[in-house]
Amino acid sequence: DVVMTQSPLSLPVTLGQPASISCRSSQSLVYSDGNTYLNWFQQRPGQSPRRLIYKVSNRDSGVPDRFSGSGSGTDFTLKITRVEAEDVGVYYCMQATHWPKTFGQGTKVEIK
């Protein structure tokens, strides 16, 4: 299985400040069709996960533009330009290039 490794696992942030989460995969996530199927999800306390980013850098509908994704190959990043109170939760990267699809361990974002 492709192992997805996130860092940090805990991220205390100050409101209005930026935040960044790293995700590294044990194999390249470039698929044979040339696409890279790397997603980012947010899970607020007590809620189902919500996808923020698909194919590395594409924001889902309704996702604020303070969220952005970047990276290639095996190294990916989720950035929040200015953290707001509603951003508290756990963030997961997930690869859908290789079977079985696998998630990172999660990064817990909390307000300092």
Nearer to other proteins, 54 or 67 (CB): 54
The string of DSSP letters for 41-89 reads: EEE-TTS--EEEEETTTEEPTT--TTEEEEEETTEEEEEESS--GGG-E
Q: How far is the CB of 94 from other proteins (least distance, A)?
A: 8
Least CB distance from residue 48 to other proteins, whole Å?
A: 4
Using the minimum distance from each CB to other proteins, give the nearer residue, 14 or 27: 27
Give the interface with other proteins as residue ranges (CB under 8 A). Answer: 35, 37, 39, 41, 48-51, 54-55, 60, 92, 94, 96, 99-106
Closest contact distance (angstroms) between CB of 53 and other proteins is 10
The pair of three-digit structure tokens given for residue 34, joined into one six-digit string: 């040339």
> How big is the chain by its Cα radius of gyration, in Å?
13
DSSP one-letter code for 36: B
